[in-house]
Structures are given as C-alpha cells and as structure tokens.
Amino acid sequence: MSTPPAGPPGTGGGAATVPLRIAGSPAGPAGSSGSAGSSGSAGSSGPAGGPARPAWHPSVLFAPARLRQLGALLLVGVLAAIVTGPTGNSDKPLQAAKDSIVDVRIVLYLGLAVALWVLLVLGAQLRGALERVSAPVRAPVGAAYGRRGGPIVLNLVLLAIAIVAPMVVSTAAQQSMVNDIGIYALLALGLNVVVGYAGLLDLGYIAFFAIGAYATAYFTSQTAMPWHAPFVLNPFFVFPIALILAALAGVILGAPTLRLRGDYLAIVTLGFGEIIHLVANNADNITNGARGAFGVPHLSIDLLGIDYKWGIDPLPYYYLLLVIIVVVMIAFGRLERSRIGRSWAAIREDEIAAEATGVATLRMKLLAFAIGASVSGFAGVLFASKQFFNPQSFSLQASFFVVAVVIFGGMGSRLGVVVGAVVLQGLAFYLRDKVPPADRYIYFGAIIVIMMIFRPQGLVPSRRRRREIQLVEEGIGAADSLGVAPTGGQR
Amino acid sequence: MSRVGAHRSGVPGARNPRADETAPGDLVVEARDLALRFGGVTSLDGVSLRQRRGEILAVIGPNGAGKTSLFNCLTGAYRPQQGSVTFWPQADRPTELVGRRPHAITRLGVARTFQNIRLFPALSALENVQIGTEVRQRYGPVGAILGLPHARRAERDGVRHALSLLDLVGLSHRTHELAASLPYGEQRRLEIARALGTEPSLLLLDEPAAGTNPAEKQDLAGLITRIAGTGVSVLLIEHDMRLVMSVATAVVVLNFGRVIAHGTPGEVQRDPAVIEAYLGVTDAEDTGGAAGGADVPAGRGAAARKDVR
C-alpha cells in the first residue's frame, strides 16, 4: 500500500530481517563516490570504505577529469600569452593574437601550464596516500565531515604574506592593494553573507557602499558636497553611523523584496543599485553630481594619548584594512558556525523545510541583508576617507564585480572571497598598462567562464558549498543559491 | 459523481459519538470545517477533526483524499479558504493556527515531517537536528560573534539536546554524516528527530513508513509509541494498515476531501464506507473499468484489500 519513491537507496540491503543500520555502507552517495577528482580535492576522495586502490598508477593521469583540468590550464596559458603579448590595433584586430601565439612566450606559458598540472596530480596523489595512512585514525568522524582540519598554520602563513607583501611592491601597487584589493575584499566578505550564506542574489550591493561613502562626505566635511551636516565629525565616528544607515537601507530594501524568490530579488536589487547611482550622479546640488566629492578628510585618531593621522601614504590604510578584514573574517566565521549560520544554510538548502522547522526565514534573510549592507557601508567610509570619489565608483559594473569576486573566490568561503578579490583585482592592476581599460572585462569574463566550467565551486570553496555542489551533481537536492528552490511542500 | 454522493451518505453513520463528548480541555488540536480549493479542484471539503492530548491519531484514505492538504493547513503551509484550527500548547491556552506563518506555528509546538523527505542534504545529521533544537534560542548575531556566555551555553544545550534526539531515533552512529548520505529509512528517522528538536506538543508525521522495509516499519512503530509516551501527541498519515492498527489509538478516514469515518482502529476497519472507499466497489464496477481505474488504480485497490482486511 505504501508508495515508495523510485529506488530508495538502502532498502535493497536490508531486505529480510537484517536491521538497516548494518546494511548501509559507510560510503554513501555523497561522502565519496569514486569520481576521480572533479576538483582540487581530486584523487583524495574515498579514504573510507571503497576498494583499496594501488598507491600509484599511470592511468590517473588520463582520467577524464584530469584531462579536462589539463585542457583548462592550457587554455589559461594561451590566454595569458595573448594578454601579455603585443597590443593590437583596430586595423588588424587579430594581428596581436597571432603574434602572441607564434611567439616564444606561448611555449613558456604552455610549459608552465603543464608543469602546474603535473604538480596538481602529484599533490593529489600524495594527499591521497597520506589520507589512506591516516584514515583508520579518524575514519568514524572525519570522513565525511570534520571541523577545523588544522588550517591554522595556513592562515598564519597567508597573514604573514599579507603583512609583508605591500613592503616589496611599488607605490602604485600599494595604492591598488588598498583601493581595489582591500576595499573589494571587505565588500566581498559582506556580500558573501548575503550570497554565500543566505543564498540571496543581490545585484545592487554597491549601493550600500555608496551610502557609506556619501555619509562620510556629509558628516566629515563642510566642503566636499553642497549638502553637509551642520557639524563636523571625525571619520571614525562615521563608522557606526554608516554601519547603521547602510543596515537600515538594507532592511528597508529587504523587507518588501525578500518575499520574492531568486530572480525577482536580483532584479529589484539591481534597480535599487541603479537608483542610488543615478541619484548620486544627478543630484548636483546635494551630492555634487558627477564631479564627485572632494576633500573628505583622511582618517585620524586622537584618543587616549594615541594621536595618529592617516595621510597620502597607502601603507597605514593597508594595515588598517588588513586588521578590519581579519576581524570581519573571524566574526563571520563565528556567525557561520552559530545557530544563525545554520539557519542560513537551512534556508539555502530547503526553504520550505527550514520554515517548517521553525526558522523565521524572512527575518533571517533580512538579517543577512542587513549584515551584508552594514559591511558595505563600513567599507564606504574607508573608501571615502582614503580618496576622492565620484558616482563612477558606484556603478552597476562595480556591483557586478563584487558578485564576480564572490563567485570566483568561492561562495560561502571567507578566505575564498578574499583570495578572489586579490586575484581579480590583481589581474585588473596587472592589465592596467597592458590593455585598454575597456578591454579589461573581456579577460575577467574569460577567466570567470573558464572557472565556472572547470571549478564551479570557486577558487577556495567552502566545505558546505562544495558538498552542496557535489550533491547537485549527483542529482540529490537542488541547493543552488542562485537557482530557485523547488517549491510545493505537498504530495 | 454518484460515488461522492455515496460517500457523503456514509458520514452520519460513521460518526463516533465518543469524540463529541470530549471536554475541550482534553484536546490538543481541533480543526473545524476546513475547506481548501485550488481553482476548481476541491482538496478539503469541510473537514473537522479532534485529537486528544497524548493520543496517536492516524489519518488514512486513498491517494488524493486530502491528507497532506490537511497537514499543510494545520502547519500553515496552505491557508484554507474556510474553517479554523485551534491548538492547545497547554490545556488552558487555545490558539488559532489559521493565518499564522509556518515557523510561528512550529514555535507554538506543532512540528511535522514531509512525505517526500526534506532534510538539509549537505548538512550533517547533527546539524539537521540542531536547526530544530535552536528555534527557541534567542541569542542574536552579536552574541554569536562575541561568543557571549549565554550564546555559548545555548549552543552547548542545543548540541546536547540534538545528540539525545539522535540517540532516541537510533542514529547516534551517524552524527557527523551528511543527511543526504544516509540510507532512506534513516533519513526518515532523522527527519523525525529534527521535528522533535523543536519541542513540539503535536507531531505530524506524513507517511513515515513509505519506502521502508518491514524491519524498519517495526522499529518505526516502536519509535512512534515511545514518542507518544513522552507526552507528545502524534498525528499520523500512513498507508500501511498494519502500522496504523498497531500504533494508532484513533483513526480518521478521509476520502475526496471529506471525513468519511472516525473511531478506533477496529471500528474503522469494519466501517462499510471505509471498505467501499478503499476497494472502490459498487459504482466503480457499474461504470466499468475506465472510470474505476481513474479513481482507484488497480494495483492500489489490490494493496488496500490486503491491508484493510
């Protein structure tokens, strides 16, 4: 009489009177299917359960996933050769590409690509071997799910690199590390809460950044904009104000629109971003219009005996940003592991089930929106006090760029989105003198397309996100934060 | 259409006088005259039911009878066009459920599982249950970020509660495994644990035995009895008659969106209207195979025959 959905896994095993908990094999469909590596964790899959593989066999080199990886790397090599090659002109648009491809350069890049691939393969093999050795130790808990695999050392190394890096580069690069990489890393961390944690696509995210920046101009200077506060505040006091203003704007935008699903929310936020941008651009006698805000004072503190002024030198800004980014990363890590982070994960994976389990979905989504917006507003204050700005900085393109950083770096992964900002903005800096500004987005587009084909989970994927994508690929669940969740909780 | 008429005529005779005598204070939930229509399709057509506190009430009926629609009305997933649902979290606190959002109803103490399992597939078993146990916690983002004492304590309590529930449903050995990687029967039990995490006084189980094997069904019957033993009232949709007869203290039979019988399992089993609904005799045979087949698929009719008797 029961109507079983087609082929429940496990019913076959416990056919007669055998209790099922014995029948279920430890390696379920998600834990470790032998797909020999669709990602960086590649050959390391399946430490528990599966048949013992030989430690090394040449055939791993020719697994389809491996070959695809090689193809991607070669493609990137060609792209890099073209990018670094001679600049073309409009008379012979393909001349430059041709010159690049017949150059010595291409050999170099293709060689690099192959070398990198070999390293990746060997690395995966090595890791697989290590896990086979350590598997018996941590098999019961660690196989499918383990918290804190000891990346503390890695984090410290990365932090050390971040501290040392600006000291060895040019001033122009330092400027870029603050204005582009640092600010965008912060923005991406904020958007990551909205897109990566709660699974909401916000295409107008930069609007909150603009709110923060204009709030700074309003409160800290009598001359930056025609419209200004009757008093002057130290930029540091504007941080909390901008935070609250941006969060408030997020709630006001979110309250009516978060009832919408997926695509509709994206369109509404897109509209909101454009409204803020156009208002900033056109309200000449309020925001100074397209000319932008001049003369917002630099940050300075004079408190408890500490007297310091940030100035033209980008380094102090860099280290301030670094501290803020690290603090935000730690804070959001805690948030993600709390009941709030779990509620977001629940909403992302199955909103109807989350609601039925008592998660106040609308309120949690609003919270994600507000938190994301407040980080954006906070970044806006830093941005405004660092440099002159005009509405150009808050264009649609900037919004898309932050989304691209989050997706490229790895949705839901704090380290990932920061690395994403470093890579994409680093690329932008690198391309600055190499290609005309208008062409820059061609390369971004190409690199993101390649990324989405070969590594959809992003550069440094979050553990949850990786599992979700794995499940979707196997046809279980439809948890894609950018897709519409399956609807209808009945029958 | 004459089939519907036949069922309607069965209603008065099937009504069990005992339920009407129950004092309201003894009830945990009462639905009155619920009607739910989707365009021209009537899913519920004046359904009323009462459940006493601590009772295991089974809702049975052929496919499409409106059982899941009833659940969706009780839990706020659908809003019925007509009727009301009163729920007593405590005996002296009647609360109207119609018009409330699902999460608010869950917080009041009505938890549910789904017919087609809806776990959070990429979260571990523990995390799935934790989401349930944490719905009553009040700490916010600041507490979580700063790791304030009350937040840490709440977090620990949530984990402890979740672990004890995993133990209750027999999934202690799966604590850190992904929900999606569990065998089917264990997923069903995990869903029950998640629902119990919200500390319900009324638990709605939508076909918990669907797709499970006989051994699991036996385990499940024991589990349901144990849950009811802790003071949780259980409202159960189930097709498996052996399970219903072994655990339910009362049964309500739905057909075509109407209650055609209710009473003890034994009474319902003998009720002519119920037998007719399940076997699809009388009119179905007169109108020929095509009409009968549309309403009661042959396979299901045969299964019902076996299960009801």
The answer to whether A18 faces chain B, any CB pair under 8 Å, is: yes
CB-CB under 8 Å, B215 with A349: no
Q: What is the pTM of this model?
A: 0.76
Q: Collect all residues with Cβ–Cβ distance below 8 Å to A308 and sequence separation of at least 6.
A: A300, A301, A316
- pLDDT single digits (tens) A398-450: 999 999 999 999 988 999 999 999 999 998 888 888 777 777 888 888 888 88
pLDDT above 50 for B171: yes
- Whether A13 and chain B come into contact, CB under 8 Å, resolves to yes
Assess whether B44 and B104 both reside in one domain.
yes
Partnered with residue B29 across adjacent β-strands are B51, B87
Express as a percent the part of chain B with pLDDT over 90.
49
| pLDDT for the residue numbered A133 | 60
Per-residue pLDDT tens for B231-274? Answer: 899 999 988 888 898 999 999 999 988 999 888 888 888 888 88
Question: Is A254 in the same domain as A366?
Answer: yes
Q: How much is the pLDDT for A470? A: 73
Q: Are residues A293 and A352 in the same domain?
A: yes
Of B122, B175, B211, the CB nearest to A4: B211
Q: Flag whether A479 is in a domain.
A: no
- Do B63 and B212 lie in a common domain? yes
pLDDT of B1 reads: 37
Amino acid residing at A436: P
**Region A48-65 average pLDDT:** 58
pLDDT for the residue A21: 35
Q: Residue A337's closest chain B neighbor by CA? A: B144
Residue A70 pLDDT level (bands cut at 50, 70, 90): confident
DSSP state of A6: S
The reply to whether B158 and B220 lie within a common domain is no
> Does residue A17 fall inside a structural domain?
no
- Domain ranges, residue A376: 152-473
A407 shares a domain with A469: yes
Domain-ending residue, one of B199, B216, B243: B199
Nearest residue of B to residue A478 by CA position?
Answer: B121
Judged against a pLDDT cut of 50, whether residue B292 lies above it is answered with no
Asked whether residue A203 falls in the same domain as residue A341, the answer is yes
The answer, for A28 touching chain B at a CB cutoff of 8 Å, is: yes
- Asked if residue A282 and residue A224 are part of one domain, the reply reads yes
B207 and B74 share one domain: yes
- What is the tally of structural domains in chain A? 2
Query: ipTM surpassing 0.85, yes or no?
Result: no
A102 and A239 co-located in one domain: no
pLDDT average, residue stretch A450-459: 83
**Contact state of A335 with B69 under an 8 Å Cβ cutoff:** no
Tell which of A107, A134, A161 closes a domain: A134
Option in A2, A13, A15 nearest B210 (CB): A2
Residues A165 and A104 in one domain: no
Cross-chain residue pair A145–B181, CB shorter than 8 Å: no
pLDDT band of residue A68 (cuts 50, 70, 90) is confident
The confidence band for A388, taking pLDDT boundaries of 50, 70 and 90, is: confident
> Is there a single domain that holds both residue B190 and residue B292?
no
Distance CA A144, CA A161 (A): 31
Nearest beta carbon to residue A1 from set B102, B135, B241: B241
pLDDT tens-digit series, residues A239-286? 999 999 999 999 999 888 888 777 888 899 999 999 999 999 888 888
Q: Are residues A65 and A177 in the same domain?
A: no
In a domain, A164, yes or no: yes
For B69, the closest chain A residue by CA position comes to A490
- Tell me, what's the pLDDT at A445? 86
Nearest Cα of chain B lies from the Cα of A51 at a distance, in angstroms, of: 18
Q: Are residues A88 and A209 in the same domain?
A: no
* Residue A488 falls inside a structural domain: no
pLDDT at residue A205 tops 60: yes
Q: Are residues B83 and B161 in the same domain?
A: no
Residue A357 and residue B147: Cβ atoms within 8 Å? no
| Residue B233: predicted pLDDT | 94
Kindly indicate the confidence band of residue A59, based on its pLDDT and cuts at 50, 70 and 90.
Answer: low
Looking at the structure, tell me whether residues A190 and A298 fall in a common domain: yes
pLDDT in tens, B99-110: 999 999 999 999
In a domain, residue A25? The reply is no
Q: The tokens 């090689």 sit on which residue?
A: A70
Q: What is the CATH number of the domain that holds B154?
A: 3.40.50.300
pLDDT reading at A227 higher than 90:
no
Question: Nearest by CB to A477, which of B180, B182, B214?
Answer: B180
Q: How confident is the model at residue B306 (pLDDT cuts 50, 70, 90)?
A: very low
pLDDT confidence tier of residue A186, bands split at 50, 70 and 90: very high
For residues A183 and A72, membership in a common domain is answered with: no
Q: Quick check: A464 and B120 CB within 8 A?
A: no
**What pLDDT score was predicted for residue B291?**
37
A311-318 long-range CB contacts below 8 Å, 24 or more apart? A314/A166, A314/A171, A314/A174, A314/A175, A314/A177, A314/A178, A314/A179, A315/A166, A315/A167, A315/A174, A317/A178, A317/A182, A317/A382, A317/A386, A318/A166, A318/A174, A318/A177, A318/A178, A318/A182
What residue numbers bound the domain in which B208 lies?
A: 2-109+202-308
Mean pLDDT of chain A: 77
Are B146 and B231 members of one domain? no
- Which of A104, A134, A164 is the last residue in one of the domains? A134
Contact flag A357-B131 (C-beta cutoff 8 Å): yes
Do B162 and B103 lie in a common domain? Answer: no
Q: Which of B159, B176, B199 is the endpoint of a domain? A: B199
One domain for residues B289 and B229: yes
With cut-offs at 50, 70 and 90, classify the pLDDT of residue A48: very low
Mean model confidence pLDDT for chain B = 82
Distance from CA of A105 to the nearest CA of B (A): 44
Identify the residue among A1, A18, A364 best suited for mutation to test binding to B, counting B beta carbons within 10 A and taking the highest: A1
Asked if residue B152 and residue B94 are part of one domain, the reply reads: no
pLDDT per residue as tens digits for the range B57-87: 999 988 888 899 999 999 999 999 999 999 9
pLDDT for A61: 67
What band does B293 get if pLDDT is binned at 50, 70 and 90? very low
pLDDT of the residue at B126: 95
How far is Cα B84 from Cα B86, in angstroms, rounded to an integer? 7
d(CA A206, CA B266) in angstroms, rounded, equals 66
State how many domains chain B has.
2
Strand, coil or helix: B262: strand
In a shared domain, residues B135 and B279: no
Is A227 strand, coil or helix?
A: coil
Residue A124 lies in a domain: yes
With bands split at pLDDT 50, 70 and 90, how would you rate the model's confidence at B296? very low
Q: Which of A3, A17, A360 sits opposite B239 (nearest CB)?
A: A3
**pLDDT per residue as tens digits for the range A321-349:** 999 999 999 999 999 999 999 999 999 98
B38 and B71 co-located in one domain: yes
pLDDT tens for A294-322 read: 888 888 777 776 777 787 788 888 999 99
CA distance B255 to B139: 45
Q: Under a CB-based contact definition with an 8 Å cutoff, are residues A117 and A70 in contact?
A: yes
CB contact (8 A) between residue A479 and residue B122:
yes
Residues A234 and A88 in one domain: no
Query: Of the residues B148, B174, B199, which one is the last residue of a structural domain?
Result: B199
Q: What is the mean pLDDT of residues A379-403?
A: 90
